[in-house]
Amino acid sequence: MKKLTFVILMLFAGYHAWCQDPHFSQYYATTSYLSPSLAGSSGEPRMSLNYRNQWPGIGTVYETMLASYDMYLDDYNSGLGFMVLKDRAGSTDLAQTNFSVQYSYRLQMNSKWQVIPGLQAAYCQNSIDFSKFEFADALLNDYVSNTSARTSELYMNGLQNKNYFDFGASAFLYSNDMWLGVTVDHISQPNQSFANQESKLPMKIVTFGGMNVWKTADRNRGPVRSIDANFRYMHQGGFDQIDLGAYIYNTSLDFGVWLRAVPNFSDEISARLNRDAIVFILKYKIDGLQIGYSYDITISNLSSHAYGSHEVSLTYELSNIGLFKKLGKNPVACFPKGSDGRYSTRVRKRTRF
């Protein structure tokens, strides 16, 4: 009987346990998800679609989909963005759906640096299919009275969805050759328990940045090749992750490589890194359309079972469509301005973000 009680308690504990947010390897292709400050950062009305299939070796049970639209409001020095995120994890269809609105404001500090604060508000719904659970009292039927309701029946009664509001804030510091951003998600730490208990979603802190280490320019076309070194560090609850890598930008083809690792700050060896994956990214650009593909090569102990992760991104700048031609003129600067003091059309489309 003690064993049965322990199993049931462990199962109940899982209903209000917290978990980490989904993540994308192509995080510069998911700017709306990375930071509210990057809403409108391309200077063009922009629509993006992203799909991630994580660890296909254990089945199609970890999928994340993202759809976003953002634009720059030149008259107000502001960016506006909208985002829908759908994440599915595990064989019990544990799912998360978020609808977000983002706002950013451009502050020019001097001729070189600008700072961009950002805000985000989201309406979220978590759901789970309890009919796919196997509970201890069903597996060990001999120990349970037939007059008592089974655990599965108790949890099938209106506890399959959890709705809440969520908020985030960010800041982004930028120059032509260096940038640094900080994003804080889940500021309100909403309760996400399905069992009417307290299970606060822990705040997520993301720090990202980089610098240009080499570039070459064409007098007529603007910069056409460059190499950037980048990093991203994420902390949520007791989980930490760091990404280190570089991007090679070309006129129509970009290439990136990353190392993803999990720092273990509790270890006696200070800041020891547990290697998780090597990520290769390829992106093709033509007439405002960007198509990206990345593959995570798992190098942890899961490598023989997970078979890596696939990710696809599509981004389209809508300025080629008549209705959107007059929207957006002043992106996050990536390269020097033209002789007229503004960014030329060709240079504007060479933004990193």
What are the residues whose beta carbons fall under 8 Å from the beta carbon of 164, sequence distance 6 or more? Answer: 123, 124, 190, 191, 192
Query: What are the tens digits of pLDDT across the range 102-155?
Result: 999 999 898 889 999 999 999 999 988 766 666 665 556 545 555 444 555 555
Round to whole Å and give the CA distance between 89 and 93.
6
169 touches 117 (CB < 8 A): yes
Residue 337: its pLDDT value, please?
Answer: 35
What mean pLDDT is reported for the chain?
A: 79
Q: What is the mean pLDDT of residues 64-78?
A: 93
171 touches 190 (CB < 8 A): no
Query: What are the tens digits of pLDDT across the range 304-318?
Result: 566 788 999 999 988
Residue 334: its pLDDT value, please?
Answer: 40
Query: For residue 340, what are its two tokens?
Result: 């007229």
Residue 194: its pLDDT value, please?
Answer: 76
Q: Is the pLDDT of residue 241 over 70?
A: yes
- Between the alpha carbon of residue 324 and those of residues 71, 79, 338, 350, the distances in Å are 10, 15, 23, 19
State the residue for tokens 């490589």: 257
- Among 45-54, 261-270, 336-345, the range scoring the smallest mean pLDDT is 336-345
Q: Is the pLDDT of residue 158 over 50?
A: no
Q: Label residues 8-38 b or e (16+ Cβ within 10 Å = b).
A: beebeeebbeeeebbbbbbbbbbbbbbbbbb
Amino acid at residue number 131: S
How confident is residue 219, by pLDDT bands cut at 50, 70 and 90? low
CA atoms within 13 A on the CB side of 250: 9
Q: What is the mean pLDDT of residues 38-52?
A: 93
pTM reported for the whole predicted model: 0.81
The residue that leads in pLDDT, 19 or 341, is 19
Superfamily of the domain at 2-348:
monomeric porin ompg (2.40.160.40)
What are residue 236's DSSP bridge partners?
204, 239
296 touches 277 (CB < 8 A): yes
Q: Is the pLDDT of residue 207 over 90?
A: yes
Query: For residue 326, what are its two tokens?
Result: 């007059």
Q: Is the pLDDT of residue 346 over 50?
A: no
Domain boundaries, the chain: 2-348
With residue 99 as reference, give the H or E element that holds it: strand 94-105
* Percent of the chain's residues with pLDDT above 70: 69
Q: Is the pLDDT of residue 345 over 50?
A: no
Could you count the other beta carbons within 10 Å of the beta carbon of residue 170? 23
Residue 136: its pLDDT value, please?
Answer: 60
Q: What is the mean pLDDT of residues 238-264?
A: 90
Residue 116: its pLDDT value, please?
Answer: 95
316, 262, 243, 326: which is closest to 69 by C-alpha?
A: 316
Residue 344: its pLDDT value, please?
Answer: 35
Residue 300: its pLDDT value, please?
Answer: 73
What are the residues whose beta carbons fall under 8 Å from the beta carbon of 335, sequence distance 6 or more? Answer: 176, 215, 217, 222, 223, 347, 350
